[in-house]
Structure 1
């Protein structure tokens, strides 16, 4: 199959491309750096010629409203229109667990809008909602730094390794469309501050971590279950300890 991966040069995209090519598919990385811009439409029709599947991993360069909403609206409108013209048979889009449960967060609202555009497009689809990636815990920690103390929102956390995300995305791209949503998460669930503390220990970072019920997660207050699946989810194979070993080996 010819599978076009929008955002194919990013963290998940580059891993997904390797898996698809290893499986014998014609996997094409589409991104501004490869001459494809979904916001302007440049290069989009050309890259989708003969495409059977599109994997939609595009991300906004800004998380600020209204820029993030404008990005996803324009991106998805251009992409699904080009897919219809090209006769694409499966649209796989990566979204976020809980994206419809957090109020007041422009990024999460933009992802809801994106999902709805995919559903309305007429192109057979599968939406994959993922929990946060283990690779982003450091960024989350730094965002909560206040005077050398890491403040994190209360609630549960169930991060998933990027390798597991890419494996599930690649498998989904090779499968029939579900015309529905699946959720994926890491194999371990624990309080948010526990995971951040474990991450800091891996990095030999001595900053303290404080669970703060009043602390906003990128602009949104969290409930206990805001960021974790509420029902059955497909779980990744890589637990946090194993991910830490892989991370340490990669840094050597």
Structure 2
């Protein structure tokens, strides 16, 4: 039994009258790589933010390794690479990775984090002199530095070139093989197809398919040899949004 890394039960999050996440149940087994897919506005980033304790759900519960998301983060068991993550101006890449390691109880060696993310050659480069792809690699190293049990990645390979992407996914597979858990969202469906043990497809804030890539194709009713893009479009096109009462999180909490 691998155990449970994260469990979301009945999660709902509204923005005005729109349910960005609609009564969502999701369990993530420890030691697996899970891809969270969906069109823009499907609720991926909101779901990730709630799982990390960065946003409150209007309803439902979240546990991470059996405790609250906030407690799991404080214990150093979770790290995230988010789309809008920034750096300390004027610092070097090594400075940033050493800072990340200092925030966790059992960090890995800085050079190991840099090498795993493929950015060791950038260690002495100032972060404001990185290309977009290089900066993305440094964000990966930052997330890996604390050796978290759960690594959450939001669009991790954006702006990376082909070689960097290949090295990234090799590193992520090695991380999962070392009994870590990885959850990532992406619009690069071929990456989810080859890298993920399990794919969760969201549309209109709800899970419309969940399983290994072959099962996702079967759920979509496409040929087993079809691209994941074909399955994705079949599953997510024309899924109606569910409107709820116009309310805010604060109002619901009352």
Structure 1 and Structure 2 fold alike (TM over 0.5): no
- When the two structures are superposed, what TM-score results if normalisation uses the length of structure 1? 0.35
With a CA cutoff of 8 Å and minimum separation of 6, indicate the structure with the bigger relative contact order.
2
- When the two structures are superposed, what TM-score results if normalisation uses the length of structure 2? 0.35
Higher-strand-fraction structure: 2
